[in-house]
A and B are shown apart, each in its own frame.
Chain A
Amino acid sequence: MAEQTAKRQVSVPMMADLAARGETPEVLFWVGCAGAFDDRYKRVTRAFVRILEHVGVNYAVLGMEETCTGDPAKRAGNEFLFQMQAMQNITTLNGYGIKKVVTACPHCFNTIKNEYPALGGEYEVIHHSTFLQQLINEGRVKAEGGESFKGRRITFHDSCYLGRANNIYEAPRAVLEVLDADLLEMKRCKTNGLCCGAGGAQMWKEPEPGKKDVNIERAEEALATLDGDADVLLNLQGVESTAPVLPAGSNRGGSVIAVACPFCMTMMADGVKNKEREQDVQVFDLAELIASAEGLNA
Chain B
Amino acid sequence: MLYQLSYITSSWFPGGVVAVGEHKSSKAFSTCKRQAKKIFRAQHRKLKAVICYAYRVYFGLNSKPTQIPVHFSIQNILFLLVAVAGFGLFIWQARKIRANILVGRDRDMSGHVNERLWKTVLVAFGQQKMFKRLTPAILHLIVYVGFIVINIEVIEILIDGLFGTHRVLQFLGPLYSALTGTNEILGALVVLAVAAFWWRRNVKGIRRFTGPELRAWPKLDANIILYIEVALMAALFLMNSADLKLHQLEGKDLPGAFPISQFLTGLLPENTTALHALERVGWWAHIVGILCFLNYLPSSKHFHIIMAFPNVYFSRLMPQGQFSNVDSITHEVKAMMDPTYEVPTPPASEGAEAAPTAFGAKDVNDLAWTNLLHAYSCTECGRCTSVCPANLTGKLLSPRKIIMDTRDRMEEKYNSPLIFNPNLYGKEAKHDPQEQLDKENHTLLRGYVTPEELWACTTCNACVEACPVNINPLESIIEMRRFLVLEESAAPNSLNVMFSNIENNGAPWAFSPSDRFNWADDLYVADKSATVA
Contacts and interface: CB of A to CB of B under 8 A. Distances in A.
Interface of A: 4-10, 12, 14, 31, 33, 35-38, 42, 45-46, 49-50, 53-54, 61, 63-64, 66-68, 70, 72-81, 83-85, 87, 91, 110, 113-115, 118-119, 145, 160-161, 164-167, 191-195, 197-214, 216-218, 237-238, 295-298
B196 interface: no
Nearest to A144: B528
Contact of B486 (A9, A46, A78): A78
Given A7-B524, A115-B323, A204-B508, A87 B461 contact: no
A66 B507 CA distance: 9
A160 B460 contact: yes
Given A6-B531, A66-B516, 9 more contacts: A5-B531, A8-B530, A9-B523, A36-B518, A61-B520, A76-B485, A77-B491, A166-B319, A205-B494
Interface stretch (B9-17, B37-45, B449-457): B449-457
Interface stretch (B94-102, B261-269, B332-340): B332-340
A205 B478 CA distance: 17
B457 A200 contact: yes
Interface string B432-465: 0000000000000000000010011111111011
B321 interface: yes
6 contacts: A8-B527, A8-B530, A10-B520, A119-B330, A192-B387, A210-B395
A205 B393 contact: no
A95 B99 CA distance: 48
Contacts of B455: 205, 208
- A5, A76, A194: residue with the most chain B Cβ atoms closer than 10 Å: A76
A72 B389 contact: no
Contacts of B509: 33, 37-38
Interface in B454-504: 455-462, 464-465, 478, 481-486, 491-492, 494-495, 497-499, 502-503
Contacts of A78: 485-486, 491, 499
B499 A73 contact: yes
A237 B387 CA distance: 9
A238 B394 contact: yes
Interface of B: 132, 207, 318-323, 325-326, 329-330, 332-334, 336-337, 359-360, 387, 389-397, 452, 455-462, 464-465, 478, 481-486, 491-492, 494-495, 497-499, 502-503, 506-509, 511, 513-520, 522-528, 530-531
A46 B519 contact: yes
Contacts of B207: 237
Minimum-distance CB pairs A-B, first 5: A165-B321, A211-B394, A77-B481, A200-B459, A67-B506
Contacts of B452: 208
A76 B495 contact: yes
Given A204-B498, A298-B524, A63 B519 contact: no
Nearest to A1: B531
A203 to B, nearest CB: 8
A296 B492 CA distance: 43
Given A79-B329, A166-B321, A200-B457, A45 B389 contact: no
A204 B393 contact: no
A85 B464 CA distance: 27
B523 A194 contact: no
B409 to A, nearest CB: 20
A172 to B, nearest CB: 16
A31 B207 CA distance: 42
Contacts, number: 264
Contact of B464 (A53, A164, A202, A212): A164
B320 A165 contact: yes
A61 B478 CA distance: 32
Given A80-B486, A195-B458, A211-B394, A87 B333 contact: yes
A281 B330 CA distance: 46
B322 A115 contact: yes
A5 B297 CA distance: 74
A153 B482 CA distance: 43
A197 B323 CA distance: 19
Contact of A37 (B323, B494, B511, B531): B511
A165 B498 CA distance: 23
Nearest to B388: A195
Contact of A200 (B329, B330, B460): B460
B396 to A, nearest CB: 7
A79 B482 contact: yes
Nearest to B520: A12
Nearest to B397: A208
A32 B393 CA distance: 30
Contacts of A87: 333-334, 337
B333 A80 contact: yes
B326 A205 contact: no
B519 to A, nearest CB: 4
Contact of B526 (A46, A203, A214, A296): A296
Given A6-B530, A77-B478, A296-B526, A204 B486 contact: no
A81 B503 contact: yes
Contacts of B325: 79, 83, 115, 118-119
Given A66-B516, A298-B525, A214 B390 contact: yes
A71 B391 CA distance: 23
Contacts of B515: 37
Given A78-B491, A115-B322, A72 B523 contact: no
B232 to A, nearest CB: 35
A221 B397 CA distance: 22
Nearest to B322: A114
Contact of A208 (B333, B390, B461, B503): B390
Contacts of B393: 197, 207, 210-214, 216-217, 238
